[in-house]
Structure 1
Amino acid sequence: MTELVGDSARLLSARLQVIGLWDDARQELDVWAASKLKARFWIRDDDAFEPSPSLERLRDVSVRFDTRIGLAIIPGKITPGLQEFLAENVHQFYPMCHGWKHVNYNLGKKPAEFGPDRPISNMIADTEFALHSFKECFSSSQPIFVPPFNRITPALIKTLPRVGFAGVSLMPSYLERKLLQLNSRMQWRGIVRMPEFKDGLRIDVHLDVIDWKARTAQRTNVVSDLLVQQLRGRRLGLVQPDAPIGLLTHHLEHDEPVWHALDGMLDFLRSHESVEFIDVGRWIADNAADQPCIADK
């Protein structure tokens, strides 16, 4: 009996410690609530190409937390089984085009399929192949390009609307991350603004649940700090206030601590009155209507 009491006390202590790690984020969200603001969130999961137990588990996360996940699919590797799986789970996943074949051409450097070392003509051809293959599998009229390894040369971004992509999903640049970090500390209000993106839609991811060096879950305090930076950046005008905050996952790379951390973050966010999760497909359709016409290829 004494051992059971001791185990219960340790579990409670551990849970309280985890809850405490979200305190700064909770306080920032409380400011949003007091100002009657809504923080919008979404989830993007990368590297899908076939059904798997991990993808089924991600589907269960979508159902449990009532959110539609943007699924970045590698069109050059997609299997018929994935098409069937997604046809059965249209309310849980919104397909997005994840490069062409997810090949790293920057050997010896930071990995990239569409980095600056490749001829632009080759990369444009690959995006055209990718779009054709993607549209054969999915009927999306507003395809979003997700560059593998979250890297893409700016010259290619400018060509994506002409190829036929409605927009792009990236991670913030180093400059954007530093400005958000400084803004969170200095509390600039209206003094600095991020440049407007003019090459179609942009719907980014900002918080990675994986620590890639350790190959396991990112520490909760690190994610909480990044969350505060994103929220303050929007509340203080550095970033468009209604720009969705993206959570990044990779279902094939998740160990148990990553699944646990994802549940914990979503539990925390869903519990706050100022948080809402967007339907990514509906958000893209609504915002694409405000963009210039894109050639249908």
Structure 2
Amino acid sequence: MSGWQALADEAARWRDAGRTAELWWRDDDAIDATPSLDRLVTLVRDTQTPLALAVVPAQATPALAARLADEPDVDVLQHGYAHANHAFGSEKKIELGVQRPAMMTLGELATGWMALESLFGPRALAVMVPPWNRIAPVLVPTLPEIGYRGLSTFGPRARVHPVRGLLQVNTHVDLIDWKGGRVFAGEQATLTGLVAALAQARAGGGEPVGLLSHHLAMDAGAWDFLSSLWERMKMLENIRVRPARALFGP
């Protein structure tokens, strides 16, 4: 069975259950108005697909804000502060960890949020996307205390609300095979992962399923897949592509 047929079959299972799956799209590491960013925004516009763009505040430029000014289908999330690795030795890369004093990390995040508000205004959502999808558990309870209402990492969430006042909506399928050469993971593998994530959501509480892309690192195969996926989504019943603003609330 092709991956596209498997996706159509999964959509039919949601229909037969009288339910609608929620799918959303997050793209990470935005910093500037680049040719890849142009291609991403053009895809959003051509396919009329809402996008959550995770922007690195310390590197975000006025040119990026200007490029997004007339793109109502693009929401902005906060991608840490500088996308800087503070891990020690052989530790996995992390910016929002315990390697530095918590007050230093939280101060940077607050500075980053002010920068995003200044650049993007109401387009910026108070949602934290930790670089490398990692955040020390001890820092999670502090996020709503400094104004964040959402958290987005990778993989099935353990809880809808990890702490009071914080909603977690994750991504589940990465288009890029980072360990296999930083290339497109492949159509079949990506669709298999997407169908599995949708099936898991259907069996559980209906968690929104997130597709993760990185416009600065994508090859032709990844771009072609995205274009095909969003066009096919228009024909699939019972899978609804949702904007981040709707998922995380006002």
TM-score scaled by length of structure 1: 0.76
Over the matched positions of the two proteins, sequence identity in percent amounts to: 29
Matched, 1:154 2:118: no
- What is the CA RMSD across the aligned residues, in angstroms? 2.0
Structure showing the higher helix proportion among its residues: 1
Is residue 21–residue 202 contact of structure 2 (8 Å, CA) maintained in 1?
A: no
Provide the C-alpha distance between the structure 1 equivalents of 2:26 and 2:212, rounded to a whole number of angstroms: 5
In structure 1, what is the equivalent of residue 113 of structure 2? Answer: 131
Provide the C-alpha distance between the structure 2 equivalents of 1:49 and 1:28, rounded to a whole number of angstroms: 36
In structure 2, what is the equivalent of residue 189 of structure 1? Answer: none
SS, match of residue 109 in structure 1: coil
In structure 2, what is the equivalent of residue 71 of structure 1? Answer: 53
Provide the C-alpha distance between the structure 1 equivalents of 2:240 and 2:6, rounded to a whole number of angstroms: 19
Is residue 142–residue 285 contact of structure 1 (8 Å, CA) maintained in 2?
A: no
In structure 2, what is the equivalent of residue 261 of structure 1? Answer: 225
In structure 2, what is the equivalent of residue 98 of structure 1? Answer: 79
CA offsets 1:164-216 (integer angstroms, 9 cap, x no match): 1111111126xx6xxxxxxxxxxxxxxxxx54424312121111111112211
Structure 1 runs (4+) greater than 3 angstroms displaced: 267-270
Q: How many residues align?
A: 245
Give how far 1:123 is off. Answer: 1.4
Rg (Cα) greater in structure: 1
In structure 1, what is the equivalent of residue 198 of structure 2? Answer: 231
Give how far 1:142 is off. Answer: 4.3
CA offsets 1:2-29 (integer angstroms, 9 cap, x no match): xxxxxxxxxxxxxxxxx82333333222
Paired residues for 1:8-27 under 5 Å: 20-27=2-9
Is residue 32–residue 38 contact of structure 1 (8 Å, CA) maintained in 2?
A: yes
Aligned AA (2:133): N
Matched, 1:248 2:212: yes
CA offsets 1:150-173 (integer angstroms, 9 cap, x no match): 111111111010111111111126
SS, match of residue 249 in structure 2: helix
In structure 1, what is the equivalent of residue 173 of structure 2? Answer: 207
Is residue 112–residue 151 contact of structure 1 (8 Å, CA) maintained in 2?
A: yes
Provide the C-alpha distance between the structure 2 equivalents of 1:281 and 1:196, rounded to a whole number of angstroms: 16
Is residue 48–residue 74 contact of structure 1 (8 Å, CA) maintained in 2?
A: yes
Matched, 1:37 2:19: yes
Aligned AA (1:229): A
Provide the C-alpha distance between the structure 2 equivalents of 1:258 and 1:195, rounded to a whole number of angstroms: 30
In structure 2, what is the equivalent of residue 216 of structure 1? Answer: 183
TM-score scaled by length of structure 2: 0.90
Provide the C-alpha distance between the structure 2 equivalents of 1:196 and 1:267, rounded to a whole number of angstroms: 30
5+ long unaligned stretches in structure 1: 1-18, 177-193, 287-297
Provide the C-alpha distance between the structure 2 equivalents of 1:231 and 1:21, rounded to a whole number of angstroms: 13
Provide the C-alpha distance between the structure 1 equivalents of 2:48 and 2:18, rounded to a whole number of angstroms: 22
